[in-house]
Amino acid sequence: AQSVTQLGSHVSVSEGALVLLRCNYSSSVPPYLFWYVQYPNQGLQLLLKYTTGATLVKGINGFEAEFKKSETSFHLTKPSAHMSDAAEYFCAVSLAGGTSYGKLTFGQGTILTVHP
Amino acid sequence: KAGVTQTPRYLIKTRGQQVTLSCSPISGHRSVSWYQQTPGQGLQFLFEYFSETQRNKGNFPGRFSGRQFSNSRSEMNVSTLELGDSALYLCASSYDTEAFFGQGTRLTVV
């Protein structure tokens, strides 16, 4: 079975500051890892994903994440926060390959607040 | 390309009633998954259908059921509604390794 832990249910940054949202996972087999963003009363939008290959992945809106197998982490970063980044962010894991990519296990979410 | 469409967007039901939610996936996507989102429990996987067959199932009671039609459209049914079923229900259609989510159906049980 797999699980995801997001450290910090709320993160607050100033506009222009570094954004760092932490995600650790547990999986008995190689995982696929994802970050999603959710705006109020909306569905989830995929920011980026790691499946295989390069461990540093770049996504939309200037976000990136690094897969660190030794630390079982997949932290999300953005060099400079923008007011429009304020939202809730979810880290998710699915099992690599086979018939499991339609089943995602999510972390509890991190609400990002951006101050002017 | 049209996205994932969920209908209705909002729904109010009374305890004990049953409800059916609908999801139309992105054209060409054969996998449809359903999730329940609540403030207390977060995002929880309900079930996944692929080519009209349930392929994965989460830990929800039998009151929650689903099906998928030959055109990949999916429905989710909840019978004997309880107050705790109030939630945002999200549908996702998947292709390769990516899941694309609809805007959800907000169900309120009173």
pLDDT tens by residue, chain B, 110 residues: 679 999 999 999 999 999 999 999 999 999 999 999 999 999 999 999 999 999 989 999 999 999 999 999 999 999 999 999 999 999 999 988 889 999 999 999 99
Vertex A113: Cα angle to A108 and A115 (nearest 5): 170
- A43–B48: do the CB atoms touch at under 8 Å? no
Residue B74: burial class (beta carbons within 10 Å; 0-12, 13-18, 19+): buried
Q: Which chain B residue has its CA at the smallest distance from A39's CA? A: B103
Please judge whether A43 and B43 are an interchain contact, meaning their C-beta atoms are less than 8 angstroms apart: no
Taking CB atoms and an 8 Å limit, are A36 and B35 in contact across chains?
no
Mutate to test the interface with B, among A41, A94, A104 (most CBs of B within 10 A): A104
